[in-house]
Amino acid sequence: MTAPAYRRILLKLSGEALMGDDAFGINRDVVSRIVQEVAEVVSLGVEVGVVIGGGNIFRGMAGAASGMDRATADYMGMLATVMNAMALADAMKHVGVVARVQSALNMEAVVEPYIRGKAIRYLEDGKVVIFAAGTGNPFFTTDTAAALRGAEIGAEIVLKATKVDGIYTADPKKDPSATRYGKISFDEAIARNLQVLDATAFALCRDQKLPIKVFSIFATGALKRVVMGEDEGTLVHI
């Protein structure tokens, strides 16, 4: 069998990816399908780190958060990512994948604190490491956390799992003639003002020469095709 193109990846999952068609919260069927995709690549010997967002849970608190101090709202969002990470780890256990949750915020009664060396050891042992609570700082998104953790653990690529199957020349919902980029350079993505990751995360990946792949987590088998180096999604590279 052909060897995977990547041996260590950082998978960025938005909280919304866990919602399915629900207005907010966690859709168990969707989570189960995602962890099956992760389990398949783990079985290939790929080391997987995951950064999870919290938008699906925070969306349900949007009314209460309206007008709130930005730093306070960001900390609430970090707590939402911890809940998502715990749900993801629990679902992985049911498919035979050992996962560890590490949080950038100290809450040792619930999850481990983030320790880089321990995270790398877990990866080398074949465990999935789920990084929760973003960077642990307000004003930074989970996109930035994904870029940071990806660089710290020596990931070969950051995989941004979205609802669309890559980056297009225009919004495919509005322009039927829009075409998907197979690959695009960081410089060209900047010149075309393509919203790949937030600006801080994008700059960090570019500076660390850490490529980004944007793909749809809802396409069956897409994650495996990405790690095998097949033409799936859009690659952003130096």
- What CATH number corresponds to the domain at position 49? 3.40.1160.10
The stretch 83-97 carries a mean pLDDT of 96
Check whether 65 has a pLDDT greater than 80. Answer: no
Which residues are annotated as part of the binding site for UMP? 54, 74, 135-142
Provide the domain count of the chain: 1
Q: Confirm whether 3 is domain-assigned.
A: no
Q: Confirm whether 62 is domain-assigned.
A: yes
Question: CA angle at residue 81 from 77 to 83, to 5 degrees?
Answer: 115
End-to-end Cα, the chain, rounded Å:
29
Q: Confirm whether 73 is domain-assigned.
A: yes
| Contacts of 96 by beta carbon, 8 Å cutoff, 6+ apart | 39
Q: Closest Cα to residue 133, out of 155, 110, 154? A: 110
Which residues are annotated as part of the binding site? 12-15, 54-55, 59, 74, 135-142, 162, 168, 171
- CA separation for the pair 197, 11 (Å, rounded): 13
Residues 211 and 158: beta-carbon distance below 8 Å: yes
Residue pointed to by tokens 């490491």: 129
Binned at pLDDT 50, 70 and 90, residue 140 comes out as very high
Residues 161 and 215: beta-carbon distance below 8 Å: yes
Which residues are annotated as part of the binding site for ATP? 12-15, 55, 59, 162, 168, 171
Q: Confirm whether 206 is domain-assigned.
A: yes
Q: Confirm whether 1 is domain-assigned.
A: no
Using one digit for the tens of pLDDT, what is the confidence trace for 203-218? 999 999 999 999 999 9
Q: Confirm whether 121 is domain-assigned.
A: yes
Predicted confidence at residue 181, as pLDDT, reads 95
118 or 190: whose pLDDT is higher? 118
Q: Confirm whether 164 is domain-assigned.
A: yes
Q: Confirm whether 89 is domain-assigned.
A: yes
Predicted confidence at residue 237, as pLDDT, reads 95
Predicted confidence at residue 193, as pLDDT, reads 86
- Determine the structural domain holding residue 66 and report its residue range: 8-237
